[in-house]
Amino acid sequence: MSEPKRKRSDGLETIDRIVSFATVELDEVGPVQFNVIRVLENAGVSRSSVYHHFHNREGLIAAVEVQRLLDQLTVTNKTTREFVSQAESAEAILGAIETVLRIAGSEDGKQNRRRRIASMAAAQTIPVLAESIADTQIRGDEYMAGTLQIAVDKGLIAPTEPLLGIAQWVGSLALGRATVDLATDVGGDEQWLSATMFSLRALLNPLK
């Protein structure tokens, strides 16, 4: 087993190390055969460290899922900025967003939202998860606001609300859509999609 190469210098290196090795374990054997003792041995940390930070086996697995979701959010934000930086019209941006939202209506998208809800629930009782989610969400919202500013500077949009507020609203769409998932079949959320695109268009106020 190769050792994950992740280090932090802010006093959270132990937490980061545990999650790294837990990720390897989960990838190799899955949640059913996930073995905390094996994670401890490979990471070279004490059992007390795991239970202090994550409470139990399920909490550690939840921490891995949280990290995966946060990594996914980071990639999405960077990809969005690259696209906006190259876009020549607001309509191109809105069209791309609608395409992404349609794809996210798939069964895989639903599963991803369920995992996110589960991670948020776990974070209510595990402080280290709550802190990680909050930190990433704050930085992600600020990053998205910066991406929208690029579109403003290019003369593509004239937002009707503060950029940070719009970014926070966009970030909340996934959780809101999870409630729609419960009441509709795959692809049955056309009304939600229509309302979302109408709202986004009103907020961004495309100029060209």
- Whole-number percent of the chain with pLDDT over 70: 93
Nearest to 27 by CA among 79, 70, 67, 56: 67
Residues 140-156 pLDDT 10s:
899 999 999 999 999 99
pTM over cut 0.95: no
Please state, in angstroms and rounded to a whole number, the distance separating the CA atoms of residues 172 and 85: 23
Fold classification of 1-54 is: Arc Repressor Mutant, subunit A (1.10.10)
Confidence of residue 158 (pLDDT cuts 50, 70, 90): very high
- Range 65-204 has CATH code 1.10.357: yes
Spatial CB neighbours of 34, under 8 Å, sequence gap ≥ 6: 22, 25, 26, 57, 61
Spatial CB neighbours of 208, under 8 Å, sequence gap ≥ 6: 89, 90, 91, 155, 156
The domain ranges of the chain are: 1-54, 65-204
Please state, in angstroms and rounded to a whole number, the distance separating the CA atoms of residues 168 and 127: 22
Please state, in angstroms and rounded to a whole number, the distance separating the CA atoms of residues 23 and 70: 14
DSSP code for 185: -
Collapsing DSSP to helix, strand or coil, 206 comes out as strand
- pLDDT higher than threshold 60 for residue 31: yes
Residues 67-98 pLDDT 10s:
888 888 888 889 999 999 999 999 999 999 99
Residues 16-29 pLDDT 10s:
899 999 999 988 98
Confidence of residue 197 (pLDDT cuts 50, 70, 90): very high
pLDDT of residue 186: 59
